[in-house]
């Protein structure tokens, strides 16, 4: 990823898409027409990445795609090639589905429209959203579940970067957690002003993912409910793994 130049006047318009939120229209009646962003996680058999680093890469790839000139408008005010697909998805429920890949599968996924982030020994690719029933075959054949990574202890986050705190009590799989931190960075970017998001972009959208123990989670929930921010909380719809309305991730600006 490259820094966003100050001359990219389209950045503000792309940021405003996030500030206005999502869910402006109902899901289609046909389940196959529901829109989702696929997130491909590189999890090789040998030397898999640390869980926290992989989740950070997934979050960084998600927000990078959401603010990429190809989702439009670009620096010249022109619609990007991914704009229609992205806006249609953002107007709905911003669903995300994580899939794992290794070897040739991971290489093939690089040819599907999206953005890959290589971060701290981990790689994740966020793909342009589309109907779940019309996935590129190179992606639809990838496994959704069946592989997880152990929780790790990466230490204190670097100062000055957003931290995405996960409710450790939910014990989400790495795939579910990747989707949730993807939601969190979008909500946080929408809560920040444009200058702050430009600065974040210039830093490659670095962020930290950490598990919150019960005591810290209680403090974070209070902060989110009282609106002491910038802070953004993700409440899950409850389609998989967690109960509807569960607060899964709380993102705190650096």
Q: Return the higher-pLDDT residue of 194 and 228.
A: 194
Name the packing angle between helices 174-191 and 10-19 (round to 10°): 110
Q: Region 11-32: what's the mean pLDDT?
A: 91
Length in residues, the chain: 254
The CATH code of domain 10-252 reads 3.40.1490.10
Cα-based distances in Å from 98 to 74, 147, 224, 228, 237: 28, 11, 26, 31, 16
Q: Indicate the average pLDDT of the chain.
A: 92
Given a cut of 60, whether residue 2 has pLDDT beyond it is: no
Residues 93-118: tens digit of each pLDDT? 889 999 999 999 999 999 999 999 99
Determine if the pTM surpasses 0.85. Answer: yes
């Amino acid at each position: 990823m490259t820094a966003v130049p100050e001359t990219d006047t389209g950045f503000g318009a792309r940021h405003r898409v996030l500030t206005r939120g999502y869910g402006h229209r109902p899901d289609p009646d046909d389940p196959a027409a529901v829109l989702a962003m696929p997130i491909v996680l590189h999890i090789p058999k040998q030397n898999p990445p640390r869980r926290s680093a992989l989740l950070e890469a997934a979050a960084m790839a998600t927000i990078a795609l959401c603010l990429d000139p190809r989702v439009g408008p670009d620096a010249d005010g022109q619609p990007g090639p991914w704009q229609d697909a992205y806006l249609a998805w953002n107007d709905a429920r911003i669903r995300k589905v994580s899939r794992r890949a290794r070897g040739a599968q991971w290489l093939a996924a690089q040819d599907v429209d999206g953005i890959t982030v290589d971060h701290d020994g981990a790689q994740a690719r966020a793909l342009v959203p589309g109907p779940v029933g019309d996935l590129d075959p190179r992606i639809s054949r990838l496994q959704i579940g069946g592989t997880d990574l152990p929780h790790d202890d990466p230490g204190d986050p670097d100062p000055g970067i957003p931290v995405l705190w996960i409710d450790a009590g939910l014990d989400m799989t790495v795939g579910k957690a990747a989707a949730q931190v993807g939601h969190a960075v979008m909500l946080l970017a929408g809560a920040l002003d444009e200058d702050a998001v430009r600065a974040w972009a210039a830093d490659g959208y670095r962020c930290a993912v950490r598990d919150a123990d019960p005591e810290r989670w209680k403090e974070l929930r209070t902060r989110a409910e009282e609106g002491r921010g910038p802070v953004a909380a993700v409440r899950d719809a409850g389609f998989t793994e967690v109960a509807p309305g569960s607060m899964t991730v709380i993102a705190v600006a650096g």
